[in-house]
Amino acid sequence: MRLFFSLFMITFFLSSCQTTNDEISLNGISENIKNRSLPVINEILFAPVQVKDDGLPDQPDFIEIYNPGKETVDLHGWYVQDCPTSSGKRYSYYFAEDPAADNLLAPGQYGIIVPEESPDREASRLVQYYDYLSGNFTVNIFIVERKTFSLNNDFDCITLKDADGTVIDSVSYSSTWHNPYLKNTKGRSLEKFNDRLSSNSPDSWSSSMDTRYGGTPGNKNTVYLPADRLDRAPSLSIAPQTFSPDPDGHGEKAMVRYKLPAGAYQVAATIYDSDGQTIKTLARGLPSGPEGSFEWNGLTEDNTPALSGLYLVRVSISGNRFSGTVELEETIALVR
């Protein structure tokens, strides 16, 4: 009887509920998709967190490159340069000078160019901070023996050149390329939405959404989208749509997932009962990349068990790809 009632209410609620997807207005996408065969600049950390005597590993600045091609590339003699100073001086960082070293970058392989005072890979600040890199030799780490790069925290350029001085890829970044909804971008890298996008376009980049490390050197970018999904329509899904959590909030949970086109966003998520009363706020003003998720454990705002019934989940999104605010809605049934 209870199952019949739940199914009946779900059908009734769905028939009377309208989403607000008709408010969606996507700005035209301007990304230039290219078939690239040589390494590209894929991630940049130019404002690392380094606090003296705090007992924590320092973040090094770094430049991540990625080989999107089908052939292994020998990087021997390659280097990166920054913008010229006011006096015309330009720093060149040769990261693959030793002919006896592993200077190869295989198809689909990441390479991280990092300044370190010691050539010891495992003892480097990079591996100490991003500890998932320890022992992971599928990622090629290219150490330039110096304390830091001269990358500015507000704007600068990075040019990747081969041994002949030919420009392979370049980017003139700005700190304004970060997600504008982040209160602090120090220690956050800039990540590309897709390696095939033009490196020199602000539309190709946004802040890493990695909340633990602030970046993903050697891993897929947190804001990455396949080329055919860069301009996808926003969507919302809930699984399972009927769930039975424990009264204390443990046990089964409902996962709310949203997917957006490439861009930088701010997200709010709220659960309402059938009378339109707020039951639970899952997020308020959360900076986001093209996708994210929330869990609902069946508890209300004051951590008491929500009653059995139908609830509306509304996710409100604002960002640089939308005109105004987009609201996505789905229903969920809680059965105790």
CA 50 to each of CA 46, 145, 270: distance values in angstroms, whole numbers, following the listed order: 12, 18, 37
Regarding pTM above 0.95, the answer is no
278-288 and 265-272 as β-strands: parallel, antiparallel, unpaired?
A: antiparallel
Q: What pLDDT was estimated at residue 32?
A: 60
- Tokens 């790809």 -> residue: 321
Asked whether the predicted pLDDT for residue 12 surpasses 70, the reply is no
Listed in order, the ranges of the chain carrying CATH 2.60.40.1930 are 2-27+231-334
CATH architecture entry for 40-225: Sandwich (2.60)
DSSP 1-40: -HHHHHHHHHHHHHHH----GGG--BPPP--------S-E
Listed in order, the ranges of the chain carrying CATH 2.60.40.1260 are 40-225
Q: What pLDDT was estimated at residue 213?
A: 96
Average of pLDDT values for 33-61? 89
Q: What pLDDT was estimated at residue 102?
A: 94
Q: In whole numbers, what is the pLDDT of the chain averaged over residues?
A: 90
Give the model's confidence band at 225: pLDDT under 50 very low, under 70 low, under 90 confident, else very high. Answer: very high
**Rounded to whole angstroms, how far apart are CA atoms 63 and 43?**
6
Average of pLDDT values for 257-273? 97
- Per residue in 284-315, pLDDT (tens digit) is 999 999 999 999 999 999 999 999 999 999 99
CATH architecture entry for 2-27+231-334: Sandwich (2.60)
Asked whether the predicted pLDDT for residue 19 surpasses 70, the reply is no
Q: What is the edge-to-edge ordering of all strands in the sheet holding 235-239?
A: 235-239, 254-259, 291-296
